[in-house]
């Protein structure tokens, strides 16, 4: 059952407010950059590829709202700066923004304002379609690795709700199911913001995947006692050497995979590879607000003044990764050099 986490209608960005899931499937109509920035910061819109598509549409929205040809360049510069300041780790955000800025700079300086607006919107919408194609291709490539009776562990949400299409890591499950493979999935709940329990479980159940929810701290014992055969997760930024940043907790799973001698796969589009950085040491890691750890929903679960450390991502070193699955193939980590 395909979802449309983001779409464009009547000069508005329409997106699912993911903070309302799983209890409510609510769409937001967004017609300004401030609302879009707030949505990205608060994770109403999240997941690296989806953030990329949303900022591309945001750039087009800023053009559409611009009143004069003379003021357009400055309006776009401001919108781009605000969108780039929302979240630092997912490189898809910066990749998408650069693509929009390049598209704008290629247009003739005297091009009519209406034509510029049309052209930027066309570029953003083609990125949305490309994201959907890329998701299917990652799914098909990854599905080749799935065998009957596999037991697969995943973390966070790298599914339909993290892209404009059918996801990256979870797309592999959807394609494997289409091929008739019989397998089971364990989904980590993914503290502190529960993308695994709120989003991955909701999405997998809706799509008929045999999925079981576990708390993050059960992973080691589930791998050992339930016979997990592989781990597949997404990524927010991959360095040239294959080091990969993903939701906090991913690195620990890769260490567990090595100890238990099971493969650990990263599934991500090529737009998640950052060709400007050589290793994971250069990946900026977002630190989020203390409230996310002091409260679970409305309920206070730690002393208000507790010292808190809340990094949203960690970096898994390439040596712990078996292969990176992209839209163009499955790359054994030994052959991966930023492809």
**Residue span binding ligand MRU (CB under 6 A) among the ranges 29-37, 72-80, 234-242, 291-299:** 234-242
How many Å apart are CA 237 and CA 243, to the nearest integer?
Answer: 8
Contact pick of 33, 158, 194, 244 for ligand MRU (by CB under 6 A)? 158
Environment class of 42 (CB within 10 Å of its CB; exposed 0-12, middle 13-18, buried 19+): middle
Q: Does 54 bind ligand MRU (CB under 6 A)?
A: no
Chain-centroid distance, C-alpha 276: 20
**Residue span binding ligand MRU (CB under 6 A) among the ranges 7-15, 45-53, 216-224, 289-297:** 45-53
How many Å apart are CA 319 and CA 333, to the nearest integer?
Answer: 8
Residues that bind ligand MRU (rule: CB under 6 A) add up to a total of 18
Neighbours of 114 (CB within 10 A): 10
When computed from its CA atoms, the radius of gyration of the chain, rounded to whole angstroms, is 20
Q: Does 200 bind ligand MRU (CB under 6 A)?
A: no
Query: Residue 29 has which token pair?
Result: 């109509």
Smallest separation, CB 312 to ligand MRU (Å): 5
By beta carbon distance, the residue nearest ligand MRU is 234
- Compute the Cα dihedral for 91, 125, 103, 79 and give only its sign: negative
Give yes or no: 216 in active site: no
> What counts of helices (H) and strands (E) characterise the chain?
10, 15
How many Å apart are CA 69 and CA 67, to the nearest integer?
Answer: 7
Closer residue to ligand MRU (CB): 158 or 204: 158
Closer residue to ligand MRU (CB): 66 or 195: 195
How many Å apart are CA 297 and CA 205, to the nearest integer?
Answer: 23
DSSP letter assigned to residue 317: -
Q: How many angstroms separate the first and last alpha carbons of the chain?
A: 32
Closer residue to ligand MRU (CB): 35 or 246: 246
Q: Does 246 bind ligand MRU (CB under 6 A)?
A: yes
Closer residue to ligand MRU (CB): 116 or 266: 266
**Residue span binding ligand MRU (CB under 6 A) among the ranges 28-36, 55-63, 73-81, 157-165:** 157-165
Closer residue to ligand MRU (CB): 135 or 151: 135
- For Cα atoms 68, 69, 71, give the angle at the middle one, nearest 5 degrees: 65
How many Å apart are CA 128 and CA 165, to the nearest integer?
Answer: 8
Contact pick of 134, 231, 312, 333 for ligand MRU (by CB under 6 A)? 312
How many Å apart are CA 199 and CA 160, to the nearest integer?
Answer: 9
Q: Are 280 and 308 in contact (CB under 8 A)?
A: no
Contact pick of 80, 168, 316, 326 for ligand MRU (by CB under 6 A)? 168
Q: Does 49 bind ligand MRU (CB under 6 A)?
A: yes
Q: Does 48 bind ligand MRU (CB under 6 A)?
A: yes
Closer residue to ligand MRU (CB): 35 or 66: 35
Q: Does 116 bind ligand MRU (CB under 6 A)?
A: no
Q: Which of 131, 236, 243, 314 is catalytic?
A: 236
Contact pick of 123, 150, 203, 236 for ligand MRU (by CB under 6 A)? 236
Neighbours of 88 (CB within 10 A): 18
Q: Does 191 bind ligand MRU (CB under 6 A)?
A: no
**Interaction site with ligand MRU (CB under 6 A):** 43, 46-49, 90, 156, 158, 162-163, 168, 195, 234-236, 246-247, 312
Catalytic residue set:
236
């Amino acid at each position: 059952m395909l979802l449309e986490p983001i779409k464009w209608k009547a000069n508005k960005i329409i997106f699912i407010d993911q903070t309302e899931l799983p209890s409510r499937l609510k769409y937001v109509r967004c017609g300004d950059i401030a609302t879009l920035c707030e949505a990205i910061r608060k994770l109403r819109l999240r997941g690296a590829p989806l953030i990329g598509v949303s900022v591309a549409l945001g750039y087009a929205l800023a053009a559409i709202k611009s009143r004069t040809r003379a003021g357009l360049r400055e309006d776009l510069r401001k919108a781009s700066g605000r969108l780039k300041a929302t979240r630092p780790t997912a490189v898809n955000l910066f990749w998408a923004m650069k693509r929009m800025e390049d598209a704008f700079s290629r247009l003739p300086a005297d091009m009519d304002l209406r034509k510029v607006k049309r052209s930027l919107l066309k570029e953003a919408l083609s990125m949305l379609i490309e994201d959907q194609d890329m998701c299917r291709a990652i799914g098909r490539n990854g599905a080749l690795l799935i065998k009957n009776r596999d037991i697969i562990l995943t973390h966070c949400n790298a599914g339909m709700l993290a892209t404009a299409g059918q996801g990256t890591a979870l797309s592999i499950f959807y394609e494997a199911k289409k091929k008739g493979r019989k397998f089971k999935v364990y989904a980590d709940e993914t503290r502190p913001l529960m993308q695994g329990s709120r989003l991955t479980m909701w999405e997998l159940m809706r799509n008929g995947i045999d999925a079981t929810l576990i708390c993050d701290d059960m992973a080691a014992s589930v791998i050992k006692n339930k016979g997990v055969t592989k781990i597949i997760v997404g990524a927010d930024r991959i360095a040239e050497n294959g080091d990969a940043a993903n939701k906090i907790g991913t690195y620990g799973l890769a260490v567990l995979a090595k100890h238990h001698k099971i493969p650990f796969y990263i599934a991500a589009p090529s737009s998640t590879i950052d060709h400007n950085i050589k290793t994971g040491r250069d990946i900026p890691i977002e630190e989020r607000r203390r409230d996310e750890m002091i409260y679970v929903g409305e309920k206070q679960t730690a002393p208000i003044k507790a010292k808190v450390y809340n990094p949203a991502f960690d970096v898994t070193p390439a040596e712990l990764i078996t292969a990176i699955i992209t839209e163009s193939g499955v790359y054994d980590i030994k052959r991966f050099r930023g492809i």
